[in-house]
Amino acid sequence: MLKVAILTGGNVAERSVSLKSAETVRKHLNDQKYEKYVIELNGTQFTEQGTGVVVNLNDFSLPAPNGNIKFDLVYQMLHGHPAEDGCLQGYFEVLGIPYTGCEVMASAITFNKQACKDFLRSHNIPMAPSKVLRKGETINWVELEAMGVPVFVKPNKNGSSYGASKVNTGDQLPGAIEHAFVYDDEVVVEGFLKGTEFSNGVLRRNGEVVVLPITEIVPHNEFFDFKAKYENQSQEITPARLTPEQTAQVQAQTKLIYEAVGCRGICRFDYILVGDTFFFLEANTIPGMSEQSIVPQQARAHGWSITELLDAAVDEALERQAMKLSVGN
């Protein structure tokens, strides 16, 4: 059986989400095919969940009485830094350990919300206007005020809507920016788009890009914030209430973004429909995988179990590693 390290934890705001996602992966990865180890990042150490045994970072092996356990694959369920931004991918590339999900460049681009938008402009993807603020730099308040209100303020490199807020009046803007800076050294101020939110998962299976059914999101709050995502304060409708033409439009856009950025593994892209246009909001290269998360819902609507979904991610990671080794030889 393949020895799989399921990465989780971390020192970021999304830690609790990561732990739930990893538990779903542990539960649903095929027991007949994989020997599973949940590896949790705490501070600067990776430890096996439960035993607390510390991973040897020289080769990412797990000390054991009968010799170190070497992993055949890393299943990444660690949200945020250092997994979603590409840092860990570089480490595993050096060690030659296959891993699920996007590689270094695609992870770095998509984790930086503004960099991702800048990259996608040449592909004619509709997006809201936005500006980046950097901690320590002077803020041009005149420029921000010219954007009008409402606007969204959110950390540039973070997920799960931590630090994000909707600003309805100009006097709320300084406080919202200060709040977002708690979570990141860069903050995005983005023009507000009034419409319906949608989310679309995508992955590769047997070499082909598979775009999953679309989810329509009806938040009970003003927008799809943390409570809406993880505390059942939204209605999530899968498949979404879209016409066949609209469905085809979103799925084609999802496939275009996935391939243009060079994504791998399971990703999820979020949109908002305004009029007849689906505006791209952001990319999630390690989307939530808890029982109530969007991608598992979409997999079920596609006719797959969570086990089949996870199998596809593992198979693609192993195929990618085999291809790299064949090129190296």
Residue 300 bears catalytic tag = no
Residue 208 bears catalytic tag = no
Residue 160 bears catalytic tag = yes
| Cβ(280)–Cβ(68) below 8 Å | no
Kindly name the residue from 225, 282, 311, 316 that is annotated as catalytic: 282
Kindly name the residue from 161, 165, 284, 290 that is annotated as catalytic: 284
Angle CA 220–248–284, to nearest 5: 55
The three-state secondary structure class of 259 is: helix
Q: How far is CA 56 from CA 61, 62, 97, 98, in A?
A: 5, 6, 14, 17
Q: How many CA atoms lie within 13 A of 265 on its CB side?
A: 26
Q: How many CA atoms lie within 13 A of 180 on its CB side?
A: 29
99/104 Cα distance (integer angstroms): 11
| Cβ(69)–Cβ(87) below 8 Å | no
Residue 178 bears catalytic tag = no
Kindly name the residue from 190, 270, 311, 316 that is annotated as catalytic: 270
Kindly name the residue from 26, 204, 264, 268 that is annotated as catalytic: 268
Kindly name the residue from 159, 288, 293, 311 that is annotated as catalytic: 288
Residue 288 bears catalytic tag = yes
| Cβ(310)–Cβ(293) below 8 Å | no
Dihedrals φ, ψ of 159, to 5°? -140, -175
Residue 56 bears catalytic tag = no
269/105 Cα distance (integer angstroms): 17
Kindly name the residue from 160, 161, 234, 290 that is annotated as catalytic: 160
Kindly name the residue from 9, 14, 61, 234 that is annotated as catalytic: 14
Q: Which residues carry out catalysis?
A: 14, 160, 230, 268, 270, 282, 284, 288
